[in-house]
Amino acid sequence: LDPGRHDGTGSLLKIGGKAATSPAENYHLARRRTLQVVVSALLTECGFESAEKAAVETLTEMMQSYITEIGRCAKAYCEHTARSIPTLSDTVVTLIEMGFKADTLPVYAKRSQRMVITAPPVTNAPVTPKALSAGQKRTHPAHIPGHFPEFPDPHTYIKTPTFREPVSDYQVVREKAASQRRDVERALTRFMAKTGETHSLFKDDITAFPLIAAQPSTIPYLSALLPSELELQTLEETDSSEQDDQTDSENAAGNIISDDPGADKENSMLPPGGVVPSAKASEDNVIDNPYLRPVKKPKVRRKK
Amino acid sequence: MNRKKDKAFESPRPFKLTHQVVCINNINFQRKSVIGFVELTIFPTVVNLNRIKLNSKQCRIYRVRVNELEAPFIYNDPTLEVCHHESKQRNLNYFSSAYTAAVSAVDPDAGHGELVIKVPSELWKQDDLKVLKVYIEFSLDQPKGGLHFVVPDVEGSMAERGAHVFSFGYQNSTRFWFPCVDSYSELCTWKLEFTVDASMVAVSCGDLVETIYTPDMRKKTFHYVLPIPTAAPNISLSVGPFEILVDPYMHEVTHFCLPQLLPLLKHSMSYLHEIFEFYEEILTCRYPYACFKTVFVDEAYVQVSSYASMSIFSTNLLHSAMIIDQTPLTRRCLAQALAQQFFGCFISRMSWADEWVLKGISGYIYGLYLKKTFGVNEYRHWIKEELDKIVEYELKMGGVLLHPTFSGVKEKDNPTPHLHFSIKHPHTLSWEYYKMFQCKAHLVMRLIENRISMEFMLQVFNKLLSLASTASSQKYQSHMWSQMLLSTHAFLKSISNVSGKDIGPLIKQWVDQSAVVKFFGSFAFNRKRNVLELEIRQDYTSSGTQKYVGPIKVTVQELDGSFNHTLQIEENSLKHDIPCHSKSRRNKKKKIPLMNGEEVDMDLSAMDADSPLLWIRIDPDMSILRKVEFEQADFMWQYQLRYERDVVAQEESISALEKFPTPASRLALTDILEQEQCFYKVRMQACFCLAKIANAMVSTWQGPPAMKSLFTRMFCCKSCPNIVKTNNFLSFQSYFLQKTMPVAMALLRDVQNLCPKDVLNFILDLIKYNDNRKNKFSDNFYRAELIEALTNSLTPAISINNEVRTVDNLNADVRLILEEITRFLNMEKLLPSFRNTITVSCLSAIRQLQKNGHIPSDASLFKSYAEYGHFVDVRVAALEALVDYTRVERSSADLQWLLNMVQNDPAHYVRHKILGMLCKNPPFNKATDSALCNEALVDQLWKLMNSGTSHDWRLRCDAVNLYYTLFGLTRPSCLPLPELGLVLNLKEKKAVLNPTIKPELGVSSVMDTPASIGIHGVGMSYSSVSGVPSMGLKRKAETPLGSPPEPGQVLQQQEEDARGGRYKIRFNTMEDEDIDMETVHDSQAFIHHHLNLLERPSTPGKEPPSVEQSMLSMPATPVPSFPKETTSSSSKHGHKKKKKKHKHKHKHKHKHESKEKDRERDNSHAYSNSPASGRSLRSPSLSD
């Protein structure tokens, strides 16, 4: 009995509904079919003339489990005694352990009404795929006996440096940077073009030179005037830190206003956010600008 | 001359406006409507003031009260529909005169208006002059002009959506949004109140006194007071959820921008205080208003518009610190706006004829600002540019007249017969002409400065300003405020007082006369006498030119130095002898002194050994508005380019060198290109010249393509010359050069007339290796120029029997170009550039690819980019491509699409732009035949200018321009022939073919085309002849004696002859009359106008309303009234065409009915803004 069997059947059950195609699956299917034949034969022996498919299936399953359990136990016994291949006695002990009278087995096997089942078709046992070997396996050093297991693949325990000497040639660097950026841009725009609507310049081949379709925006001036995030980023990188701070605070001031229109509305008695504090910070004297003055409450008598 | 008379300002109105309240208490962004009232405080200047005429357009007026008494009123706007009757007249002469008449009829400068209020008799029947308060309630619903609502279609409240509204208009257009006296010369103090949503800000003229919540706390009211007397056209308003920035340097200055743009606003405005300081310093005068506000709005009508104490700008002027190219442009706009605050807003003009003074002064001080900020080179470059512009325009279109004088009696007296529009009113002026007018005005101011010195000039300005500010602080007194109005006369008087100089001839030449001077110069050196014989000829016969008599400066650079000579240009002296100072080539080794005192070594081997002349310049200071075509040898131009330090001289020599494609020219240009001290714009110009020279020398050109090695040396890496350095735009001069050189290089062509392969690869490499990561500035303009360079490299595709363009037969080079463009355009969607410059360049590149036959011509791409919702620059670029497509493909569907957009697009600027582009690049013109030219198009355009554009003066004039470009002045050739075929000329006793049928041979030959107006006008034509003195004479008298007649004049004379001989009626075989339209109608207008003037005071509100209305509207629509009247009069003559007359009557009846319906609807008031209704009542009243 194959100890790996269990796993095999497990996966078999899972994919039972699908058309099995791989050799390993074929192998398992054939075994299972044999088991089914056995079950059917036993049922016939017991006097059944027909059986529901589900019943046969259940019995097959039970039988398979039983056999599997025998195999598993036998292997356990054998490993208990520090061996790797089960012997007959392991199997016998197992059967006994499982409450089966082992001595009845020969009689049963030789009973007269037993049906002879044709041998299962010869199918190739599944080949376990070779583990991917990477690199040269190391041979044992002199102080380790030869029967010891081989070393695993080197990458599993040896640090492999992937570092290469950087190319410092200016021309190549520029060349690379340029083509890299171009490739990224091209890939990105192609992707965008493929996922969205496009214009095409040619009628015969609409996939050549796809242009991302123009989408009107509701407030077109915003995107056209405000620097893009990328530009802001490069600005921050190139600018001195002093300027950095300034733009940051400016942005923050702008954001307060745009992010929080509700609060702004409530506070509209106060000057709109950001302006006064920053102005005050820079100047000591208080700015008297009519637009910064608080909005007056209506007079009760006032009629509009 | 008119100028002599206008010493004291005389109001055309029988009353004086002293104060006006404007209160707008509801602005509905959803419905785009406005409700409010105005209250005008007026002071009658005559007893029995029974009518008050005010201006109001498109406002719905609910009630008018005068001193709490309900007053009846009439509202009639003749400019809504210029020509009323459905005649088949479709000629522009007719339209122009009718339009002028309509505008005149409501011209506030003549005391007219659309809104006539009858003062209740209780108020005027007493003898004393009492102050009247005129209270008018009005509303505006979806205004098409005057106020512009921008309401983005997104989720959220109006404030969150960035919805805003602002006032706009061309010249005096305030009447579009509230009733007023819409004249620059009627000043009053103002109280302005605007109630807006609590999340919004209302910015208007004057000082914000207080802001008060409404009782429900959901809105607030902004109270403005403007104590300085201001004309209504200088009042403006903008309301929106603006972000507020108080100028950190000047706390009385406040900036407003749309949400999210505050960082840009901060940066863009960081410079404004310097402009303030500059103007205040040179004018030695404080800024006249207590505060100043700048508002940046979307979909602006123009980039800059100035109003009293505030300016409205296009939001697209805002930019971040990363943008190079926009910075000077924005600063220029700010400086313009501020200059107009002093002259234009604070000091207003007395009449339209004085407009040039204000535009001139503001343009002039703006020029001084340019000189101070951007340097003398930039200033002189700008002056040259402006001079070239005005010269080109005047030579092409005919003269631009700064100070038109109208003798007032005759409407027909047109000082500019060469134009297809009247210059009598700002509102009839073509936009192009007005721009040139402004340009000429400031150039003339500069000429005055040349004459009287800048010091005196500034003193004059200071005097005008101090007079005005004294006047402005006065309480209302009868004549004090008129000191704030500037007239040509007052200005000239001030100049003569301050400087003591007589600038009369200068004014006469450039202000009272139109046109420029055209000089041709050539010279010979007389070795024996050591004299330079200079010949200066003039062309003063072609259109747009005039004769110049007076001094002219000539600068001669000799070996021994530079010498100025002043020559007198006189009637018949062409030749001038100028003695030379240096003997030729005495010492070769000596350094040569230049004009500026610098001494330089020159390689003199190129020059003529016999002559000491290095170069000669005529009028180097540009003190004449002229074009000079001067002939000198190529080496002289080259010396001038290399050694003359004046940028104007350098630019002139560059354009002259285009004609001398020699290795020496090449060397001179290359040297200039390399010279870092040289002004960058000269170097940029040299690039293009070099490209032209290289193309002309293609067969003998040695070495690599022009500019390639230069560019490599300047901008590429030392170690790998094919790779451009990473961008660093810290030096703006080299930035501009780096941008320009590839564009110019792409214009190079090889022997096969193709762009050389290595140039194209070079540009592609520039694009490939462009790296902006380490740059402090954005490279979007640079990349846009690189795309333009790719576009320039395109040449027409070789097409084999018109095969359809497919991807497979795409040229390999073009494929590379197309790939770049595709990538750029797609990247722009993900990372948009500033003002989408890249998209703009890509669109024009794609159009060029189409036009050159590389890819199939297709308009759909451009259409999608032209839709509303894209950035305006992108739209304009797409529309430009579409206009070009329409012309090339003669696509009538696309023309329709464009015209449809002209009618319906929300953005006024785009509508204006489409018409402008169609004029520049017309799908066909009057000289060519085209399938597009058909009756339907004529009708459509006619309708567009006749009634479709009544809400926007500028747009209407654009439509007129387009009509002129397409069909000319006369009947469009595609219309079916008029019924009359022959015209009898009684004088010459022969019948000629009706001139309307003749194909147009050019403008000059068709001036006198009598248009057919069918059966009407039998009797009238006689009366008109007797009533109108001939105009041709008058005009002729104005031109200098002995000068050959201008084309227009010749025709006038013919007209006159014909008139004398033909007795005005030309019978023809089809028994129709053909009368001289122009004259008759104008005279009609004139007669009616005067009849009406006479009648009005004598009929004080007793006649039934219908008659009254018809009468009052008459001056408004004098021209259309003519046929109706003659219907009745022709019945006396009682012969021909019963049938047609019958039909006509039927029409009248119909209109009667419609009018009655109108009246029912408007029940109590005689309110009607329908021109049809106004017309229908006229003819019965007249026949009565």
Residues of B in contact with A171 (CB under 8 A): 717, 719-720, 723
Task: Give the pair of three-digit tokens for residue B659.
Answer: 């004609």
List CB contacts of B1000: < 8 A, sequence separation 6 or more.
Answer: B926, B927, B968, B970, B973, B1006
Average pLDDT estimate for B579-605: 78
Residue B1038 has pLDDT above 50, yes or no: no
Q: Is A177 on the interface with B (CB under 8 A)?
A: yes
Of B587, B589, B641, nearest in space to B617 by CA: B641
CA angle B355, B358, B361 (to 5 degrees): 140
pLDDT number for residue B1107: 37
- How far, in Å, CA of B781 to CA of B480, rounded? 52
To the nearest whole Å, the CA of A164 is away from the closest chain B CA by 24
CA angle B879, B768, A234 (to 5 degrees): 85
- How far, in Å, CA of A55 to CA of A60, rounded? 8
B1155 class by beta-carbon count within 10 Å (0-12 exposed, 13-18 middle, 19+ buried)? buried
CATH hierarchy code of domain B517-624: 2.60.40
Question: Which DSSP symbol is given to B944?
Answer: I
pLDDT number for residue A160: 65
Residue A300 has pLDDT above 90, yes or no: no
The answer for A 252-271 residues in CB contact with B (under 8 A) is 253-254, 257-258, 261, 264-265, 268, 271
Residues of A in contact with B251 (CB under 8 A): 287-289
Residue B1079 has pLDDT above 80, yes or no: no
Residue length of chain B: 1184
Query: Which uninterrupted H or E stretch holds B239?
Result: strand B237-240
Better pLDDT: B1091 or B206: B206
pLDDT number for residue A237: 67
B407-421 per-position pLDDT tens digit: 544 444 566 778 889
Task: Give the pair of three-digit tokens for residue B1082.
Answer: 């104008």
CB B178 within 8 A of CB B61: no
Task: Give the pair of three-digit tokens for residue B82.
Answer: 């210029």
List CB contacts of B268: < 8 A, sequence separation 6 or more.
Answer: B317, B318, B319, B330
- How far, in Å, CA of B564 to CA of B547, rounded? 23
Better pLDDT: B1163 or B132: B132
Residues of B in contact with A179 (CB under 8 A): 768
To the nearest whole Å, the CA of A242 is away from the closest chain B CA by 14
Average pLDDT estimate for B758-762: 93
pLDDT number for residue B571: 75
Are A254 and B260 inside 8 Å of each other by CB?
Answer: yes
Nearest CB partner across the interface for B807, out of A170, A208, A282 = A208
To the nearest whole Å, the CA of A20 is away from the closest chain B CA by 47
Which of A47-56, B477-486, B1010-1019 shows the lowest mean pLDDT across its residues? B1010-1019
Are A289 and B775 inside 8 Å of each other by CB?
Answer: no
Kind of pairing between the strands at B626-630 and B517-526: parallel
- How far, in Å, CA of A186 to CA of B822, rounded? 9
| Percent of chain B residues past pLDDT 70, beyond the cut | 79
Task: Give residue B715's pLDDT band: very low, low, confident or very high (50, 70, 90).
Answer: very high
CB B883 within 8 A of CB B915: no
Q: Where are the domains of chain B?
A: 15-77+114-241, 352-510, 517-624, 717-798+805-856, 890-974, 982-1183
B820-864 per-position pLDDT tens digit: 999 999 999 989 999 999 999 999 999 999 999 898 888 999 999
Residue with tokens 């529309």: B879
Are B807 and A258 inside 8 Å of each other by CB?
Answer: no
Are A193 and B826 inside 8 Å of each other by CB?
Answer: yes
Q: Is A62 on the interface with B (CB under 8 A)?
A: no
CB B915 within 8 A of CB B959: yes
Task: Give residue B1108's pLDDT band: very low, low, confident or very high (50, 70, 90).
Answer: very low
Q: Is A180 on the interface with B (CB under 8 A)?
A: no
Task: Give residue B666's pLDDT band: very low, low, confident or very high (50, 70, 90).
Answer: very high
CB B277 within 8 A of CB B457: no
Nearest CB partner across the interface for A209, out of B209, B254, B818 = B818
Nearest CB partner across the interface for A192, out of B264, B318, B829 = B829
CB-defined contacts A:B, below 8 A = 231
Question: Which DSSP symbol is given to B476?
Answer: P
Residue B401 has pLDDT above 60, yes or no: yes
CB B59 within 8 A of CB B138: yes
Residue B1134 has pLDDT above 60, yes or no: no
Question: Does the fold of domain B517-624 match that of domain B15-77+114-241?
Answer: yes
- How far, in Å, CA of B429 to CA of A157, rounded? 88
Nearest CB partner across the interface for B855, out of A202, A222, A283 = A202
Nearest CA in chain B to A275: B245
- How far, in Å, CA of B614 to CA of B636, rounded? 6
Residues of A in contact with B867 (CB under 8 A): 214, 216
Task: Give residue B584's pLDDT band: very low, low, confident or very high (50, 70, 90).
Answer: low
Nearest CA in chain A to B266: A250
Residue A2 has pLDDT above 50, yes or no: no
- How far, in Å, CA of B74 to CA of B1115, rounded? 14
Are A209 and B856 inside 8 Å of each other by CB?
Answer: no
Of B105, B175, B83, B138, nearest in space to B1172 by CA: B83
B790-821 per-position pLDDT tens digit: 999 999 987 666 666 777 778 889 999 999 99
Residues of A in contact with B330 (CB under 8 A): none
Better pLDDT: A5 or B227: B227
Residues of A in contact with B771 (CB under 8 A): 174, 177-178
B626-645 per-position pLDDT tens digit: 999 999 999 999 999 999 99
Are A225 and B318 inside 8 Å of each other by CB?
Answer: yes
B122-141 per-position pLDDT tens digit: 887 777 778 899 999 999 99
pLDDT number for residue B10: 78
- Say if the ipTM goes beyond 0.90: no
Mean pLDDT of chain B: 82
Q: What is the DSSP string of chain A?
A: --TTHHHHHHHHHHTTTSPP-SHHHHHHHHHHHHHHHHHHHHHHHTT-S---HHHHHHHHHHHHHHHHHHHHHHHHHHHHTT-SS--HHHHHHHHHHTT--TTHHHHHHT-TTPPPPPPPP--PPPPPPPPPP-SPPPPPPTTS-TTSPPP--GGGTSPPP---PPP--HHHHHHHHHHHHHHHHHHHHHHHHHHS-EE-S-SS-TTSS-EEPP---SSHHHHHHSPPHHHHHHHHHHS-HHHHHHHHHHHHHHHHHHH-HHHHHHGGGSPPTTHHHHHHHH-SSPP--TTTSPPBPPPSS---
Are A214 and B834 inside 8 Å of each other by CB?
Answer: no
pLDDT number for residue B305: 95
Residue B1048 has pLDDT above 50, yes or no: no
Handedness of CA A164, A170, A175, A181 (dihedral sign): positive
Are A296 and B869 inside 8 Å of each other by CB?
Answer: no
Task: Give residue B374's pLDDT band: very low, low, confident or very high (50, 70, 90).
Answer: very high
Question: Which DSSP symbol is given to B945?
Answer: I
Are B243 and A257 inside 8 Å of each other by CB?
Answer: yes
CB B280 within 8 A of CB A242: no
A180-226 per-position pLDDT tens digit: 999 999 899 888 888 888 888 887 777 788 899 888 888 899 999 99
Which of B579-593, B759-773, B887-901 shows the lowest mean pLDDT across its residues? B579-593
Task: Give residue B544's pLDDT band: very low, low, confident or very high (50, 70, 90).
Answer: confident
Handedness of CA B1141, B1143, B1146, B1148 (dihedral sign): negative
- How far, in Å, CA of B725 to CA of B735, rounded? 12
For the ranges A239-248, B150-159, B260-269, the maximum mean pLDDT occurs at B260-269
To the nearest whole Å, the CA of A172 is away from the closest chain B CA by 10
A289 class by beta-carbon count within 10 Å (0-12 exposed, 13-18 middle, 19+ buried)? buried
Better pLDDT: B734 or B1179: B734
Average pLDDT estimate for B298-319: 95
Nearest CA in chain A to B865: A214
To the nearest whole Å, the CA of A163 is away from the closest chain B CA by 26
| Percent of chain A residues past pLDDT 70, beyond the cut | 70
Task: Give the pair of three-digit tokens for residue B1104.
Answer: 């039934």
Handedness of CA B728, B730, B734, B736 (dihedral sign): positive
Better pLDDT: A162 or B1062: A162
Residue length of chain A: 304
CATH hierarchy code of domain B352-510: 1.10.390
Interface test with chain A among B244, B309, B863, B875, by most A beta carbons within 10 Å: B244
Residue B1116 has pLDDT above 60, yes or no: no
Residues of B in contact with A177 (CB under 8 A): 771
Residues of A in contact with B327 (CB under 8 A): none
pLDDT number for residue B848: 95
Residue B1113 has pLDDT above 50, yes or no: no
- How far, in Å, CA of B1025 to CA of B1060, rounded? 9
Are A216 and B319 inside 8 Å of each other by CB?
Answer: no
Better pLDDT: B1055 or B489: B489
Of B693, B677, B692, nearest in space to B642 by CA: B677
Are A225 and B319 inside 8 Å of each other by CB?
Answer: yes
Average pLDDT estimate for B506-529: 91
Task: Give the pair of three-digit tokens for residue B1053.
Answer: 């004379």
- How far, in Å, CA of B284 to CA of B277, rounded? 10
Q: What is the fold of B15-77+114-241?
A: Immunoglobulin-like (2.60.40)
Task: Give the pair of three-digit tokens for residue B842.
Answer: 């890509």
Nearest CB partner across the interface for A203, out of B321, B856, B873 = B856
Rg (CA), chain B: 32
Handedness of CA A283, A288, A292, A293 (dihedral sign): positive
Beta strands in B596-708 (DSSP E): 599-600, 613-618, 626-630
